[in-house]
Amino acid sequence: MDKNQILHQIFESHDNYLAKESASLQKVPVEELVASFFCPGPFYYYILDSPTLTFEKVSSTLTAILGIDITGKPISELVKIVHPDDLDFLLKCEDYVAYFLKNKVAPEKMVNYKVSYCFRERVKDGTYKLFNMQTITLATTTEGALLKVMGVHTDISHITSTNNYRLSLIGLNGEPSYLSIDVFEREVSAIRSTKPVFTKRELEIVRLLGEGLAVKEIAAKLFIADTTVTTHKRNVLNKSHCRNTTQLVAYCLRKGLLTPTAPPSGSLTETPGGGEDL
- How is the chain split into domains, by residue range? 3-195+260-268, 200-255
- In angstroms, the Cα distances linking 277 to 25, 29, 56, 266, 269 are 7, 10, 11, 15, 10
Q: Which of 156-165, 182-191, 239-248 has the weakest average pLDDT?
A: 182-191
**pLDDT of amino acid 259:** 59
Q: How far is CA 233 from CA 26, 80, 218, 246, in A?
A: 41, 40, 11, 12
DSSP 8-state secondary structure symbol assigned to residue 211: T
pLDDT higher than 60, residue 40 = yes
Confidence of residue 188 (pLDDT cuts 50, 70, 90): low
Q: What is the CATH number of domain 3-195+260-268?
A: 3.30.450.20
Fold exhibited by the domain 200-255: Arc Repressor Mutant, subunit A (1.10.10)
Q: Are 256 and 166 in contact (CB under 8 A)?
A: yes
Can you tell me the mean pLDDT for 205-234?
A: 89
The pLDDT, as a whole number, for residue 241 is 84
**Stretch 181-201: mean pLDDT:** 76
pLDDT score, position 242: 85
What is the arithmetic mean of pLDDT over 55-74?
96
Provide the mean pLDDT of the chain: 86
- The neighbour count for residue 79, using CB atoms within 10 Å, is 19
